[in-house]
Amino acid sequence: MNKNIETLSDAGFYAIAEKTLIAIEISLEEAFQKTDLDLDISRQGGNVVNIQFEDKSVIVVNTQSPLQEIWVAAKEGGFHYKWAGTLQEPLWLDTKTGAELFSELSRLASQQAKTTLEVKFI
């Protein structure tokens, strides 16, 4: 865990959360273009990314501004991620397990797509 966590103002949270959602979208769009996967990636309300897979299962990633968290809903369940990084080293950790957002999202998306997908902060 990063011991130099940068405290985020509301504006700082909005900025890093938006960068995170964009990174998720770009990573999955790149995976879509490299494979023959049928992914449907869409934005809803500005702070929600819906990822629909060929089998019509969905992963929803959204920001929770009052809590300064990112929430993920997948077939496997719901997960909450709290900021634990710096602007130079972004890091979101699961509030229960300490798992990192991008590695867990890669795992969850790979399970639902039935192929290996990598989601990363760009």
| 53 part of a folded domain | yes
Residue 103 lies in a domain: yes
Report CA torsion sign: 98, 101, 102, 106.
positive
CATH number at residue 34: 3.30.920.10
Question: What letter represents residue 91's amino acid?
Answer: L
Give the pLDDT confidence score for residue 92 in this predicted structure: 97
Q: Is residue 59 included in any domain, yes or no?
A: yes
3 state SS of 58:
strand
- Tokens in use for 46? 């500005």
Range of the domain at 58: 10-113
Task: Say if 1 falls within a structural domain.
Answer: no
Residue 76's pLDDT is what? 96
CA distance 25 to 32: 10
For residues 84 and 73, give the distance between their C-alpha atoms in angstroms, rounded to a whole number.
Answer: 20
Joined together, the tokens standing for residue 30 give 């790149």
Q: Could you list the pLDDT tens digit for every one of the 122 residues in the chain?
A: 446 788 999 999 999 999 999 999 999 998 888 887 888 999 999 999 999 999 999 999 999 999 999 999 999 999 999 999 988 889 999 999 999 999 999 999 999 999 999 999 87
In this predicted structure, what is the pLDDT of residue 87? 82
pLDDT at site 14: 95
Cα–Cα distance measured from residue 63 to residue 16, given in angstroms and rounded to the nearest whole number: 10
Instruction: Please write the tens of the pLDDT for every residue from 17-49.
Output: 999 999 999 999 988 888 878 889 999 999 999
Report if residue 66 sits inside a domain.
yes
Rounded Cα–Cα distance for residues 96 and 87 (Å): 23
Q: How many domains would you assign to the chain? A: 1
Cα–Cα–Cα angle for 18, 21, 122, rounded to 5 degrees: 95
Q: Would residue 3 count as lying in a domain?
A: no
Residue 122 within any structural domain of the chain? no
pLDDT at 3: 60
* 4 part of a folded domain: no
Q: Sign of the C-alpha dihedral, residues 101, 106, 107, 108?
A: positive
